[in-house]
Amino acid sequence: MAKPAKLTINLTSLFSYYFIWLAGINLATQKDSWLVPMLAVIFLQCYCFYKAGYSRKLFLLLLVIAASGWLVDSLIVESGLVQFNGLAPLALAPYWLACIWVSFVLVFNQFFHDYFRKTVLWCCLGAFFFPLTYYIGCVIGAGLWVNPLWTTIAYTLFGIGIFIWLRFITQWANV
């Protein structure tokens, strides 16, 4: 069976990521209506990941990174810096945010796997874009920044830390 063109796989992953991001943000206040379409699109991204020829080992490591991101989001929620809309178990970050994390790591790998070793670049980009993305999501209606200064600092550090963690775990696993 012939492999689909890399551009087609990448574009499918990218558009499905933006669908998940927008669905999560816009439907955050509704009950479970977002769950089925978001999970279906994540399945599509997993399929694209598989068709692109990446290993199961890398796939599992990326899911560990996604879980780590969701747990750090949960710590930020628990600290009271941000309040997200939507269903969440206990004091954890909402489910839709977990879907966005899985989608993010799959798409990030799809586009930037060859550049994982550029840790300083990713840390700088993460320090800028993580707080910006979370802020835009909250402005759209996904949540509320309770303390803007400390929330910005937390997400800046988070944006740096997640890429250091990504570099460490992919280097440790030799993928």
What is the value of pTM for the model shown? 0.79
Residue 32: predicted pLDDT: 55
CA distance linking residue 32 with residue 13, whole number of Å? 23
Give the single-character DSSP code of 141. Answer: T
pLDDT confidence of 1, banded at 50, 70, 90? very low
Q: What is the CA 105 to chain-centroid distance, rounded?
A: 5
Is the model's pLDDT at 147 over the cut of 70? yes
CA distance linking residue 105 with residue 170, whole number of Å? 12
Is the model's pLDDT at 120 over the cut of 80? yes
CA distance linking residue 115 with residue 133, whole number of Å? 22
pLDDT confidence of 151, banded at 50, 70, 90? very high
Is the model's pLDDT at 128 over the cut of 90? yes
Tokens (6 digits) for 64: 């560990």
> Which of 4-8, 48-52, 69-73, 93-97 has maximum average pLDDT?
69-73
Contacts of 107 by beta carbon, 8 Å cutoff, 6+ apart: 13, 14, 16, 17, 45
Contacts of 80 by beta carbon, 8 Å cutoff, 6+ apart: 146, 147
